[in-house]
């Protein structure tokens, strides 16, 4: 049994058919403990509110003593986790972190409803803080993502190897990305190659 936390992104209300909801159910049915909270006001997200909820969810995971502690974050959820790491919001490190479709800050800063300054991926402490709070970090991106118009190179400063899922878009239902068994496979194997197939 693992402890798994899903962090959704901007405008996401955990709809039926979304790969996160599908994966959360699949992992629960396999006997894992799964946290999949609805972050407040996803159409107009406030980083302070999202950080407060992330802090509490991570703390509740720490109250369970068995299994790996894993986070699966998508889009603005990746920024939520990275900001939590940067500001020491956690009590104990995660064993594994999966960051899916990290958004380009030049795009999030223009998105209507997203409050606050975009996270600076070149912040001098960000890389060290991410590795402080995650024993292992895996990054998944697509070759055609509207939230990464120039590709994933904008976060090269993080020094994280990225696996590319061709044609996945922004890994959203709008892109036709729904049922996805790669998450459950990766949870079992910790092999990034298992993320590259539906």
Q: Which CATH number is 74's domain given?
A: 3.40.50.1820
pLDDT for position 147: 97
pLDDT for position 198: 62
Domain count across the chain: 1
Averaged pLDDT in 10-residue chunks for the chain of 198 residues = 97 94 97 98 96 98 96 98 97 98 95 89 97 98 94 94 94 91 96 89
Q: Would you say 141 and 164 are in contact if contact means Cβ atoms under 8 Å apart?
A: yes
The model's pTM is 0.97
User: Which distant-in-sequence residues (6+ apart) come within 8 Å of 4 by Cβ?
Assistant: 24, 27, 32, 33, 34, 35, 70, 71, 72, 187
Identify the domain containing residue 18 by its residue range. 3-195
DSSP string across 50-116: HHHHHHHHHHHHHT--SS-EEEEEETHHHHHHHHHHHTT--SS-BSEEEEESPPPHHHHTTSTT--S
pLDDT for position 19: 96
pLDDT for position 116: 80
Q: Would you say 69 and 3 are in contact if contact means Cβ atoms under 8 Å apart?
A: yes
pLDDT for position 178: 87
SS3 assignment, position 15: coil
Backbone region of residue 113 per phi and psi (left: phi > 0; alpha: psi in -120 to 50; beta: other values): left
Q: Would you say 105 and 67 are in contact if contact means Cβ atoms under 8 Å apart?
A: no
């Amino acid at each position: 049994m693992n402890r798994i936390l899903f962090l959704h992104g901007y405008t996401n209300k955990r709809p039926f058919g979304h790969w996160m909801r599908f994966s959360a159910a699949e992992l629960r049915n396999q006997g894992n403990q799964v946290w999949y909270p609805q972050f407040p006001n996803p159409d107009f997200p406030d980083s302070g509110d999202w950080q407060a909820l992330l802090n509490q969810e991570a703390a509740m995971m720490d109250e369970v003593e068995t299994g790996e502690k894993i986070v699966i974050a998508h889009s603005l959820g990746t920024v939520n986790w990275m900001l939590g790491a940067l500001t020491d919001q956690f009590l104990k490190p995660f064993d594994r972190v999966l960051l899916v479709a990290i958004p380009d800050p030049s795009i999030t800063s223009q998105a209507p409803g997203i409050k606050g300054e975009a996270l600076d991926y070149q912040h001098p402490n960000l890389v060290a803080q991410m590795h402080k709070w995650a024993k292992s970090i895996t990054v998944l991106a697509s070759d055609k993502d509207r939230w990464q118009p120039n590709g994933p190179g904008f976060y090269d400063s993080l020094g994280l190897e990225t696996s590319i899922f061709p044609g996945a878009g922004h890994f959203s239902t709008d892109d036709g990305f729904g049922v996805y068994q790669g998450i459950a496979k990766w949870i079992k194997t910790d092999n990034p190659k298992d993320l590259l197939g539906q």
